[in-house]
Amino acid sequence: MRVLAALSGGVDSSVMAALLLDEGHEVVGATMKLWGGESDSGCCSVSDVEDARRSAAQLGIDHHVFNFSDEFDEYVVNPYVASYANGRTPNPCIECNRRLKFDVLLRRADMLGFDAVATGHHARVHVMADGSKRIARGHDSKKDQSYVLYPVTSSDLERVLLPIGEMTKDRVRSMAAELGLRTAPKPDSQDVCFITKSDGREAFLAARTELHQARVVDSDGVVVGAVDAIEMVTIGQRRGLNLAGGSEPRFVTDVDVSTSTVTIGTRRDLMTDVLVLDQIVWAAEAVTGQVMVQCSAHGTAEAALITDAAGPSDGSVTLRWMEPHRRVAPGQSVVMYQLVGGRELGEPPAATEVVVGGGIAR
């Protein structure tokens, strides 16, 4: 098989390419040049492109750099800024996967005659009983990245490979060391690639949109304080609200940019039993019934029930939590999982948690 290996300059993608070579595939490395500005997060920087190039050279494979910076600005950076300006909390890494890695890059691979695209994500491709494919959680639960891959559909997975999904991170690093890859000790990238640690999110947004002061009110509408930038406030936030001491912790329960109002309340006020999702993407067919729901990249999945017809005409789904749950910030990605049975050759039956869909919290 002729495979285009997406090399980010990290250890996971380097080992991914090595595994593909061991399996006998014809492998060509490709690095996407996405962010043209300053970066210190260990992702998308000039040094990452160089690390990818050198890893490819060590593995003896060709390496190309694709400049997708215009698409990155259009589909990731600009919507990120617009979301915060509208009081929402976006997940740019998911949009990068949706719009770049598993759209623009896939189309480029098709144009160049590749059979598949491979990435170094810690997730697996699970084959269902009917032969269709789903994203499944990676073997290393601490590094699982299935959450950020929810927009990848069953049809996309026909030409996507995730070779390290069955490996632990420790094994990935030890294999990189055995191969003498320069990326073996490289730390993981954890942050948004275009937000620098030195300047932070507020400086990034302030350079691209106007930030506005807002009043802070309690659940009765009484003004109790103010914030310098409502665009920096998110649901569930407790710190940075400039509030006088109270008898119990207070959290942000609502952000209304149109009226420049931040509402706070107690932990009890922060809880809800309903969550509405928009822009639903189903892995294949729509599902009904109970699902496990994850609301952040490193969060714990919790049980919820789909209470309306899955996939209504307006593209939304309503979930009812089995237990009261903290409010999810509007704009945050929410991913739904279900357990499915499976059997590997020579192994007893096993249950696998697969992505069945996801959407954006309303």
Cα 88 to Cα 69: distance, rounded to the nearest angstrom = 24
Q: Three-state SS for 148?
A: helix
CA nearest neighbour of 193 among 299, 70, 63, 46: 46
User: In the annotation, is 96 catalytic?
Assistant: yes
CA nearest neighbour of 5 among 61, 75, 83: 61
Cα 76 to Cα 41: distance, rounded to the nearest angstrom = 17
Q: What is the DSSP letter of 103?
A: I
Rg (CA), the chain: 22
**Which residue in this structure is represented by tokens 């890059």?**
105
Angle 287-336-361 (CA atoms, 0-180°, nearest 5)?
A: 110
Cα 160 to Cα 134: distance, rounded to the nearest angstrom = 11
Residue among 43, 44, 193, 295 flagged as catalytic:
193
User: In the annotation, is 193 catalytic?
Assistant: yes
Cα 293 to Cα 272: distance, rounded to the nearest angstrom = 14
Residue among 44, 93, 96, 295 flagged as catalytic:
96
**Active-site residue set:** 96, 193
